[in-house]
Amino acid sequence: MYTTIKTSQRNFVTDPEMWLGHSIYFKKLFSGNWGDKQEDGSYFIETDAHIFEHILRYLRTGVLPVFYDREKGHDFALYQALLEEAKYFVIERLEKWLCERKYLEVVEIHYLATETQDRQSSRKHTTSDLNGRIFMVEDRFVEITTSGNMETTMVPMVQQQNSFYCPNGKHGKSNEERCRSCIEQARDNKIHVNGGWREEDRLKWCIVRKEVVFNHDLCVNAYLEDALP
């Protein structure tokens, strides 16, 4: 049977007979022994409607709440406010969940960091992150595949390394063994193309993946054995 619960900010219409959560307070309130029923059949409760919304959601579904945002983390102020209301309404399972901070076990964050390898190429390529930003990578191709619950951050790294260039200007970047005759030709013909060994900056990417794993089963099943009669 539908019941209206009134607060100072808004009214809630619910069917207590369908609730999966348990509250000693509401069990006694709806029994009629307190005489708090209004003339129109509603009940007035002095509570914050924003907090009571979460109380009612738990009573309806039996699912313990988690207030987590990828950027801000857990909303501890809301947990504390909800705990006080859980105590007031004598909702033992919800109170235990909040007191023991069991919600911290629901969210797991996994990090994976990898470094791109050198891949020689004479072309330039583009790549983008999850925010759609485009990266131009010279002499490298960075390809990222990720799932919807994974965030990817690309951090550029500059490393110095020695590279050998053909002294005769024929082979570009090469090695001393291949260009042995080129060294002699460049010396004999007095060729100056800035060949030989050079110290260069090489661009690499550190790719950091952050995956947030949510354990919904814990929200559904935690402390159920304690609630059994």
What is the per-residue pLDDT across 143-154, written as a single tens digit (0 to 9) for each? 566 666 778 888
In a domain? residue 218: no
- Cα separation, 117 vs 142, whole angstroms: 9
- List the CATH number of the domain containing 35: 3.30.710.10
In a domain? residue 224: no
Of residues 48 and 170, more confidence is placed in: 48
123 pLDDT more than 90:
no
Alpha carbon of 103 to those of 71, 132, 219: distances in Å?
17, 33, 8
Domain count, the chain: 2
Q: What is the mean predicted confidence (pLDDT) over 71-95?
A: 96
Domain ends where: 36, 70, 105? 105
pLDDT for position 119: 45
Host domain of residue 87: 3-105
Q: pLDDT band for position 11 (50/70/90)?
A: very high
In a domain? residue 68: yes
Average pLDDT taken over every residue of the chain: 84
- Cα separation, 94 vs 133, whole angstroms: 43
Residues 66 and 155 reside in one and the same domain: no
Residues 53 and 26 reside in one and the same domain: yes
Residues 99 and 115 reside in one and the same domain: no
